[in-house]
Amino acid sequence: MDDWNKNRANEIVERALNASRADATIVRVRHVREGATRYANSEITQNVVHGDAALEVEAAFGAQVGRTATNRLDHDSLAACVERAEAIARVTPPDPEYMPPVEPSACPEVAISHPATAAFSPTDRAEAIRQSVALAEREGMTGAGVFSTHVLSTTVANSAGLFVHNEESDAFITFSATSSDNVGWAQGRVRDLRALDLAAIARRAIEKARAGRSPRDLSPGRYDVVLEPAALSELLAFFFVYQMDAKATDEGRTFLSGKRGFRIAASNINIFSDPTAAVCPSRPFTDEGMTLHRVDWLRNGVLKDLVTSRFWAKKHNLTPTGIPTNVVMEGGETSDEEMIRTTDRGLLVTRFWYVRAVEPMRDLYTGMTRDGTFLIEGGEIVGPVKNFRFNESAVHLLENIDLLGRQEIAGPWPWAAIPSVKARDFNFTSSTRF
């Protein structure tokens, strides 16, 4: 599949559409090439390379819908896939939320595919890891993490005449520097691998590990916090999953029910999605092929919009947003150092992990700090502390944010540019042994 290109995708979708006898047909072709190298104890433990192309077909007779998929793309297999979708549709009860195919519309081209990322080989990844691990070993530490590259081509076409195509690349690395009694961690994510400073990422993790030696116990409670982007993005991801669906919210099934148009966060909080945003460009259309436009989710702390499907938008005379392919939280000019200097007593948190919803109707989540938690007193970091479990609401956190810092591209959820923040009154419920 190394010869894959837009013309090849176009040929496949045209054959599938021509084979269809349904009232309405949507076809999607995805071509992926990805590689991942995992390492632990300063040694590579796994290397995976995967490539595939697959066709997805959605055929409808009225509101009866059938869906099939295949990665056999010869002429006969394409026809058989379409035929199976039609057969399934004929025996499937009508879908009460069925929407006809998206009509063609202007769709921007977003340049998010970079040859340097596509060309990066397993050998290249291994050499980059070797150099990063060597930095940790000089400090008496070991290195661990994952380094992945991903190239994806997505094409959507339908019987209404729509055809959209996008190519994107993604390089993502995590680095954990482990000493005898603690771990420091850092990450990096870019479209163009040439912009990924692997040595800087490793050094950041090493510095966290060096500063985190011999963590002490600290009583749980409510603390002011300085959250690095990785920590905040983890909590915001759960907020979007559990709270931001328009249908669920309008039906009274989320914490945000009845809150559209009201302030739910501090006045300095602005969160939006826009595939053309320079800080975080992304695929400009949904899996249905609907063009994505800028949507302000929160503006000056006010809940402005929710993730709205075409069905729900038509039913309630709203504008459909589609599922966003990126999320941007606007940052500020305050450095992490300044946030620390203005904190009388609090905690610096590198990241959260194992986050889970406790009570979605209360917007309540639990999780743990990890890989670098530090006590701040009198505007200075006075030392590392053992990790905490938290029970906290994302909305409560957003209400209490005082300062905004630099943005980073946070992973691994869909492309997100998230700043570091300083916030009040974060609820840590218990401490751990490590």
DSSP 117-149: HHH--HHHHHHHHHHHHHHHHHTT-EEEEEEEE
Q: What span, in angstroms and rounded, lies between the C-alpha atoms of 236 and 102?
A: 30
247 with 301, same domain?
yes
Tell me what the pLDDT averaged over the chain comes to. Answer: 96
pLDDT bracket for residue 292 (50, 70, 90): very high
- pLDDT tens by residue, 31-54: 999 999 999 999 999 999 999 999
Q: In terms of Cα–Cα distance, which of 330, 331, 327, 328 is closest to 339?
A: 331
pLDDT tens, 233-274?
999 999 999 999 999 999 999 999 999 999 999 999 999 999
Same domain assignment for residues 36 and 119: yes
pLDDT given at position 2: 56
For 416-433, letters b (16+ CB in 10 Å) and e give: bbbbbbbbbebbbeebee
Instruction: Mark whether 173 and 130 lie in a shared domain.
Output: yes
327 and 244 inside one domain: yes
The count of structural domains within the chain is: 2
396 in a domain, yes or no?
Answer: yes
What pLDDT does residue 413 have?
72
Residue 75 has pLDDT above 80, yes or no: yes
> Is 1 among the domain residues?
no
Q: How far is CA 258 from CA 252, 303, 354, in A?
A: 8, 10, 30
CA distance 381 to 212: 11
Same domain, 122 and 139: yes
* Residue pair 192/116 in contact by the 8 Å Cβ criterion: yes
The CATH code of the domain that includes 67 is 3.30.2290.10
Tokens read off for 380: 């200075």
Higher pLDDT among residues 434 and 343, named by residue: 343
117 inside domain: yes
Distance CA 137, CA 175 (A): 13
Residues 6+ apart with CB under 8 A from 80: 70
Q: How many CA atoms lie within 13 A of 59 on its CB side?
A: 26
Q: What is the pLDDT of residue 1?
A: 43
Split at pLDDT 50, 70, 90, the class of 144 is very high
Are residues 290 and 151 part of one domain?
no
- Of 56, 229, 47, give the one whose Cα is nearest residue 148: 47
Q: Which of 164, 141, 111 is nearest to 286 (CA)?
A: 164
**CA separation (Å) from 197 to 39, 63, 129, 173, 255?**
18, 51, 12, 10, 40
Mark which of 141, 176, 207 sits at the end of a domain.
Answer: 207
Q: Which residues contact 353 (CB under 8 A, 6 or more apart)?
A: 234, 367, 368, 370
Instruction: Based on the fold, state whether residues 421 and 381 are members of the same structural domain.
Output: yes
Q: In this structure, what DSSP letter does residue 195 have?
A: G
Give the C-alpha separation, 274 to 337, whole Å.
Answer: 30
* pLDDT at 180 > cutoff 90: no
pLDDT 10s digits, 323-361: 999 999 999 999 999 999 999 999 999 999 999 999 999
Strands 416-431 and 388-393 come out as: antiparallel
Q: Is the domain of 16 the same as that of 146?
A: yes
Arithmetic mean of pLDDT, 368-380? 97
Dist. CA 327–CA 233, nearest whole Å = 10
**Side chain identity, residue 216:** R
Q: Which residue range is the domain that position 33 belongs to? A: 6-207
* Tokens, residue 426: 């974060």
